[in-house]
Amino acid sequence: MTVIIEEKPKVEPKKEGGSPVPPSGPEGGSENEAPPFGELAPRLELAIAQAGGPSAVARRAEMYLSTLHRYRGGRELPSSALVSLARATGVRLEWLATGEGPMQGEAAPVLAPATPPGHVLLPLLEARAAAGNHGGLRSDHLVDFIAFSESFLKQTLRRSPQNLALLTASGDSMDPTIRDGDLLLVDTSARRIEGSFIYVLAIGGGLLVKRIDLRRDGSVILKSDNPKYAAEEVPAVETPTLQVLGQVVWQAGPVRS
């Protein structure tokens, strides 16, 4: 695997008399020459293993798993992909590219632990989905992983684990169905509005959890399960600004008196 790093041509200094100074580095090579696959491969494999494996790394790097496998197998690795992989695995870019310095900086991201047999790890995001009046999207950073039974996800919920993510609800507009602090399991592939299901959506810079009804004229109604909150209508001309992020397919929270 060859790392492609674009850089400006280096102007070689000249000795007195006009002869160029021989390039530095072993066998006349440039000190800035990209490391060959044989040198980079062990660090890449170590970083991937410590970050939870290829599937977890590909998801965080927003990269197809097949693409990651090709990079591991020796395909040319562009600098943009190298940066993405360094961020996804939580290692320093300089260490991954050259092996110099510590593997990780002072603030390493949360990495996936070992997966229990028969389970899959789902990412818990820091973003709080506001089940209230237009709460804001705070962040989409990964904060933890939670293990779910693979058979429960596939057979009971009939959902693909690779499309699932966890969020925390904030607010009381969806009481008693969803309460403040409940954990929400969101299918990010289910973005088509159907029936009267509960969705996570982005609107006006905020992240909301609402029941959504689609009308024939193209407008949508955002409903709250808590009767003290009135329904909101989004006109058809404004629906293009309504970004459905996924459907809530499961939720959990503490037992309340």
- Of 113-122, 130-139, 189-198, 218-227, the one with minimum mean pLDDT is 130-139
**Residue 253 contacts residue 179 (beta carbons within 8 Å):** yes
Q: Let me know: does 91 contact 130? Beta carbons within 8 Å.
A: no
d(CA 158, CA 229): 32
* Helix, strand, coil percent values for the chain (each to nearest 5): 25, 30, 45
| Entry pTM | 0.55
Q: What is the pLDDT of residue 127?
A: 64
Letter for the amino acid at 220? V
Q: Is it the case that residue 193 has pLDDT exceeding 60?
A: yes
The string of pLDDT tens digits covering residues 148-177 is 999 999 999 999 988 888 888 888 999 999
Q: Is the peptide bond before 176 cis (omega within 30 degrees of 0)?
A: yes
Which residue ranges form the domains of the chain, and what is each CATH number? Answer: 3-98 (1.10.260.40), 119-252 (2.10.109.10)
Tell me the pLDDT band of 251, cut-offs 50, 70 and 90.
Answer: very high
pLDDT in tens, 70-104: 888 877 778 778 888 888 888 888 888 888 888 87
What average pLDDT does this structure show over 196-215?
Answer: 83
**Residues near 93 by beta carbon (within 8 Å), at least 6 away in sequence:** 82, 83, 86
